[in-house]
Structure 1
Amino acid sequence: MSTTASATTPLVQPPRWALLQRELFALLDQGWRRFEELYCASDGSLVYAGRTFGRDGVDDFYEPFFNWPMLYLLGGADDLLDACKRHWHGVTAQLTERGLLTNEFEDGYDWFHQGESLLFFYTLCAADPEYFRDRALRFADLFLPDSPVHNYDGRRRMMRAPHVGALGPRPGLGEDQPFSASNTGMRKYGLPLRDVRGILDWDDLAQPLLAHRMADAMNARLGVGDVPLNLASTSLATNAWLYDHDPRYSGFVKSYVDKWAGRTVDGLLPDNVGPRGEVGEMHGGRWYGGHYGWTWPHGLYSVLAPALIGASNATVVSGKDRPLSLPRDMIKAILGYARHAAMDPDDATFFDHWQERLGDGVHDELLLVPYRRDEKGWFDFQPLPPAYLAWLWWLTRSVEDRRLIERIAAGSGYEWPTVRDFREKEEAGHEPPWLTYLLGDNPDWPEEALEMAIRQVRVRLRLMEEHPTPPPDDNIHWWQELNPVVTEVLTQLIAGAPQMLYNGGLPYSQLRWTDALRNRPGLPEDVAALVEQLDDSTVTVQVLNLGAAQQLLRLTGGGYGEHPFTELTADGVTMPVDQSLLVDLPPRTRIRLRLRFQRFGRRPAHQPRGL
């Protein structure tokens, strides 16, 4: 049984946001096709004659396509899904030939990078789950307690190394060369280890003996045991669980996240667990100092993100919000060290990043939190990334987390309603104006955000024409910097969700749209949608048909059907929603739907392509 809502309001003058949304879809279609023409071989691989180095590089070959399946899910071209599959297969074969994959999965590397490379795979599974079923289960099995490659120690509930994958736990960090002062790109992060004999500052690494000593120490101490980054592996297991709800996968997710949560120190995750399962085992008892931890290189950025990813996955497989206390407590704890000050360019490692976001406002007095800690205390003070606050509130919809956002916004030192014109490879960071819109302010956000997104696509289209060749050297980041597909704003507008967390988050959403006449995901051509309001039990969305043909959409609560609708109000009439909701759109009509839903009222599951 289905409940049908029929649009009856004539669309006399289309709103500007709707016209801009359709213009953006058209530009994106032009963009991905041009990217293929310039940079891809016929088998879908990237045209590249340069080198890859050591264990690094897998993520950089998948990342140029990471959000293409999301565009398809939102309403991109019919042939985009086949293109995405071709690129996944082509790049997978390309990386296998280069010796970086075994049985289609990464041999073994840190989950900061593995999480990035798997975003493409996760969104492909959401777009066409049955096509990728066998791979999704096979990949997740690599990290379960009974895996024959032994990545995970089920007794200690820990990964056996920071670098894990198809070949099992790989010892060390692959630092087979000296960690030299000539590695200028890493200088701003300082010494990876602060207690190596004879090495007091970065310039000491100019001595070959000391550079070799640092590399040996990194392999021996940073390259063993467990680190918070490995929490991102729970996305792989959750993605597999969404097929058949195999308790092996959900059990691993809940157990592993719970184990890490039990290790917190004053609300903060420690960043290292030694081979025997003890915090600080390789670092003189210190809870900080591990690989991609609080001391080096990125601190908060690479500790809080996996905590959010792991907690969100544990919440999805359990239907309970309790795991989300982990990232919430971390945010509150780090805010306890906050200060209002101007950023110090010599201390803030992401200063250029914030300058791109805030422009001249980067020099103002801002609310800063410490990203890193060593034996001297907290340092590297920068603004708290708004994506983390957005995801925490979006996952819980709690009054507590909404008030936390309002408090941070009021004291941040910059205007949250302002739509800022920047684009980063994560294709995120525009959460503040969207959140202020959803929370009842900032009425101009839809048009301003779409205009910004259109400008960003046009910039990439121009850059591609200015750089029409494959990378001229060994630059494996070449394609990420040219990817013309932008989906952050469309995800906010149409799916009512933040952009997926970049280092390994799954593509969760509030709404999933299906073109019921063509039996495929996404909005049909000439249809536009805008999520106008969202709280813990209701979502309001406006949907309209700009074209001359009848359209029929199926609307699902939750990207995996986990938030079923219970009640619909439209045109002043309220009615219960039965098994599913159909939206009937005669030519040039519009309708505003206020939908009541039950959070986690249904067990999440991969949705067949036509649902």
Structure 2
Amino acid sequence: MFTVPASPTILVDAPAPIPAWALAERAVIAANAEGVQAFLAAFVDGRGYTRGLEHYGITDGADDAVEPIRNWPIAHALGGDDAIIEAWSTVWENHLDQYSRAWVPEVASVSEGIYYREFMPQFDWEHISEGMAGFYFYGLSRPDDPRYAIRLRRFAGLYMNEDSTAPNYDDQHHIIRSLFNGSRGPRMTPPNATDWDGPEIPGGAPGRRTRFLNSGNIVGDHPLNLNSTNLAFHAYLVTGDEKYRDWVLEYVDAWKERIDQNGGNIPSNIGLDGKIGGEWGGKWYGGVFGWNSPDEGVRNYVFRGPPEAFGDALLLTGDQSYTGVLRRQLDNLYAEQRVVDGHVEIPHYYGDQGWYGYVDVNGRSPGLGNRRRGETDIYIWGLQDHDLARLPKTGWIGYLEGDQPDYPLTALQEALEEVREAGQRIHDDDTTLQYPTGITRWERSNPVATEALVNLTLGGADPGGSGHGPLPLHTQVRHFDPVARRAGLPPDVAALVEKIEANSVVLTLVNTSPLTTRTVTVQLGAYGEHQCNSIRTRAGATPCNGRAFTVRLTPGSSETLTIGLERYAYRPTLDFPWDQGAPEPM
């Protein structure tokens, strides 16, 4: 017996032919579990260590060792087998041990371990973030793991002046004091190429290290550091301790104010005095990884940090002005657009000469390379026509707009092919081959596909984790299994978010089993941040007042529900619906 965790409960007893997309969805969920086992067999040894030499640096550092498996916890939280989250946890725990034991004498900050106290000692948040993605997502399935809360408190404390040996944060000027920061505090001296990328590797890419010759001025704050808010954000989700919420808003609000002062353009350097461009001659566009980065002038990473931080603040407050900060930056770029051969181009860089580096709005660039993802995020957060107008009406967005009815099946078939191709790369991998350039063999061999599942089952954009994030989940719904008392769709159940509007979501649920009744709990929002007001089915309307409701589906049954909701009504939490108690208003 089990206790139904949410009210109301809706009974669906309407057998119908099982749609192809529902069967494909369950096939992807099952294939992900098989893919994990294939990856483990090929790339993880008996100690739980990833096979191969441990490296430090941008080319192939500690983050790259676990970046390829960053979405495994998401695969479990979507409904994948428990073996997925157990495998990720095993690899993560041993990864921390493996890289804590790996010393690089040539680099002072990691001469006693690439990890120090289980965290990067001094590095940039472009790469710290990539390595942390799976850790954040782990909380979706295991929010009550005591190790998770302990680490979140300790890691967040590195940026809240709770660790006297790591004074990363200046609480007077509300800045993080260097582009290089971590468990050993901020680096306040110029790094050289070895500090950036580790010792030179024989046979490595020729000329690669020259990109760091002009990248020594790392003092002061940078948009990348806004990624650090994910630590305190997740600490708040797990503990409910107000100090974490307060710190996120303090730091984000300081950036929000500076961006407003700068005409809506995100500064790429804040001086130690708290002034825009303070370490770069007053130039708001100066700085490593800035609008005209001295690192070959192409790596403009100012959109890698603000989406994460302003998204955190939105989830913590429901205040859409945080979305507006990112929207205004995009407005500034589009205000400079030009049309070339019928194609709209916008700039991705800014220097002494003004805006430059024009790129087709549908093209790619090393600068602002995640712009399209950011535009999708902003639309999903605010659901404004102004933001929708920028997006191509193809793929997932086209489907939500009613233009591509076959998209769910197509996307899920492509996800299965993604798993198959990665599995083939694993099968073909030559385990005896040496890689003198240091690139991990498994970088493109992750046989777990989750983007289509996040889009279709949750109604959210992919939270990323490589070059864009990881963002917290911004979704319409999240599913739980009240029988197994776990996160994710129950066995046999398929879900499809068909339409998203300001005050409603259309969700179809299908029980693909011909023999077994299944029960699913539907939560509004990834963290229970939305309020359910009503549920309309073919049988009529059912009132609802809270974060979640439950649906019982008899064998072969399906139902399309139109869920009325109020967005960002409640404080977010990682607690499962049956553990939440009364929701706390924003």
Scaled to the shorter chain, the TM-score interval is 0.7 to 0.9
The code of the aligned residue for 1:110 comes to D
CA contact (8 A) 1:17 1:447 kept: yes
Query: What's 2:178 paired with?
Result: 161
Displaced runs of 4+ in structure 1, greater than 6 A? none
- Aligned residue for 1:274, secondary structure, equals coil
The answer as to 2:35 corresponding to 1:35 is: no
Instruction: Find the partner of 1:142 among 146, 153, 158.
Output: 158
- Aligned residue for 2:244, secondary structure, equals helix
Instruction: Find the partner of 1:543 among 509, 513, 533.
Output: 509
The code of the aligned residue for 1:332 comes to D
User: 1:186 deviation in Å?
Assistant: 5.5
The answer as to 2:310 corresponding to 1:311 is: yes
Instruction: Find the partner of 1:583 among 538, 548, 551.
Output: 551
Greater share of residues in helix: 1
The answer as to 2:133 corresponding to 1:124 is: no
The answer as to 2:489 corresponding to 1:490 is: no
User: 1:376 deviation in Å?
Assistant: 2.8
What is the alpha-carbon distance in structure 1 between the residues aligned to residue 58 and residue 559 of structure 2? 55
User: 1:372 deviation in Å?
Assistant: 1.5
Query: What's 2:521 paired with?
Result: 554
The answer as to 2:425 corresponding to 1:442 is: no
Query: What's 2:582 paired with?
Result: none
Query: What's 1:359 paired with?
Result: none
> Which range moved further: 53-62 or 289-298?
53-62
What is the alpha-carbon distance in structure 1 between the residues aligned to residue 190 and residue 127 of structure 2? 13
Query: What's 1:279 paired with?
Result: 276
The code of the aligned residue for 1:138 comes to R
- Aligned residue for 1:381, secondary structure, equals strand
What is the alpha-carbon distance in structure 2 between the residues aligned to residue 588 and residue 55 of structure 1? 50
What is the alpha-carbon distance in structure 2 between the residues aligned to residue 146 and residue 325 of structure 1? 32
Deviations 1:426-464 (A, max 9, x none): xxxxxxx11121123221111111122122111111111
Change (3 A) 1:301 1:76: farther
Deviations 1:97-117 (A, max 9, x none): 111111111112111111111
Query: What's 2:69 paired with?
Result: 65
What is the alpha-carbon distance in structure 2 between the residues aligned to residue 476 and residue 141 of structure 1? 33
Instruction: Find the partner of 1:44 among 45, 48, 67.
Output: 48
What is the alpha-carbon distance in structure 2 between the residues aligned to residue 115 and residue 319 of structure 1? 24
Query: What's 2:532 paired with?
Result: 565
What is the alpha-carbon distance in structure 2 between the residues aligned to residue 522 and residue 179 of structure 1? 40
> Aligned runs of 1:381-396 on 2, under 5 Å?
381-384=358-361, 385-396=371-382
Query: What's 1:463 paired with?
Result: 425
In the alignment, structure 2 segments of 5+ residues that lack a partner are 1-5, 103-112, 198-203, 362-370, 580-586
- Aligned residue for 1:243, secondary structure, equals helix
The code of the aligned residue for 1:140 comes to A
User: 1:395 deviation in Å?
Assistant: 1.2
User: 1:483 deviation in Å?
Assistant: 0.8
> Which range moved further: 150-159 or 524-533?
524-533
- Aligned residue for 1:138, secondary structure, equals helix
Change (3 A) 1:447 1:48: same
CA contact (8 A) 2:58 2:196 kept: no
- Aligned residue for 1:10, secondary structure, equals coil
Change (3 A) 1:186 1:54: closer
User: 1:471 deviation in Å?
Assistant: 6.7
Deviations 1:523-543 (A, max 9, x none): 122211100011222111101
User: 1:491 deviation in Å?
Assistant: 0.3
The code of the aligned residue for 1:550 comes to T
User: 1:26 deviation in Å?
Assistant: 2.3
The code of the aligned residue for 2:136 comes to Y
> Aligned runs of 1:518-537 on 2, under 5 Å?
518-537=484-503
RMSD: 2.5
What is the alpha-carbon distance in structure 2 between the residues aligned to residue 279 and residue 602 of structure 1? 35
The code of the aligned residue for 2:314 comes to T
Query: What's 2:323 paired with?
Result: 324
TM-score of the two chains, using structure 2 as the length reference: 0.86
Query: What's 1:606 paired with?
Result: 574
- Aligned residue for 2:302, secondary structure, equals helix
Instruction: Find the partner of 2:128 among 98, 114, 118.
Output: 114
- Aligned residue for 2:510, secondary structure, equals strand
Change (3 A) 1:590 1:66: same
- Between the two proteins, what is the percent identity of the paired residues? 28
CA contact (8 A) 1:552 1:585 kept: yes
Query: What's 2:344 paired with?
Result: 367
> Aligned runs of 1:194-233 on 2, under 5 Å?
215=213, 218-219=215-216, 221=217, 223-233=218-228
Change (3 A) 1:537 1:44: farther
What is the alpha-carbon distance in structure 2 between the residues aligned to residue 515 and residue 53 of structure 1? 41
Deviations 1:246-298 (A, max 9, x none): 22211211121111122222321110112222222332221112121111258
- Aligned residue for 2:301, secondary structure, equals helix
What is the alpha-carbon distance in structure 1 between the residues aligned to residue 136 and residue 196 of structure 2? 34
User: 1:554 deviation in Å?
Assistant: 1.0
What is the alpha-carbon distance in structure 2 between the residues aligned to residue 178 and residue 512 of structure 1? 42
- Aligned residue for 2:563, secondary structure, equals strand
The code of the aligned residue for 2:283 comes to R
Query: What's 1:358 paired with?
Result: none
> Which range moved further: 572-581 or 524-533?
572-581
User: 1:173 deviation in Å?
Assistant: 5.8
Change (3 A) 1:325 1:533: same
Query: What's 1:257 paired with?
Result: 252
Deviations 1:537-583 (A, max 9, x none): 21111011111211111111111111121211111410112454111
CA contact (8 A) 2:75 2:450 kept: yes
User: 1:136 deviation in Å?
Assistant: 1.1
Change (3 A) 1:91 1:177: closer
CA contact (8 A) 2:60 2:440 kept: no
CA contact (8 A) 1:38 1:468 kept: no
Query: What's 1:336 paired with?
Result: 335
What is the alpha-carbon distance in structure 1 between the residues aligned to residue 443 and residue 506 of structure 2? 35
What is the alpha-carbon distance in structure 2 between the residues aligned to residue 383 and residue 308 of structure 1? 22
User: 1:237 deviation in Å?
Assistant: 1.0
What is the alpha-carbon distance in structure 2 between the residues aligned to residue 227 and residue 57 of structure 1? 21
Query: What's 1:174 paired with?
Result: 191
Deviations 1:307-344 (A, max 9, x none): 211111111122211222210110100111222337xx
Change (3 A) 1:35 1:55: closer
> Aligned runs of 1:474-513 on 2, under 5 Å?
474-502=437-465, 503-513=469-479
CA contact (8 A) 1:127 1:609 kept: no
Query: What's 2:368 paired with?
Result: none
Query: What's 1:6 paired with?
Result: 11
The code of the aligned residue for 2:538 comes to D
What is the alpha-carbon distance in structure 1 between the residues aligned to residue 206 and residue 577 of structure 2? 47
What is the alpha-carbon distance in structure 2 between the residues aligned to residue 490 and residue 480 of structure 1? 22
- Aligned residue for 1:106, secondary structure, equals coil
Query: What's 2:19 paired with?
Result: 15
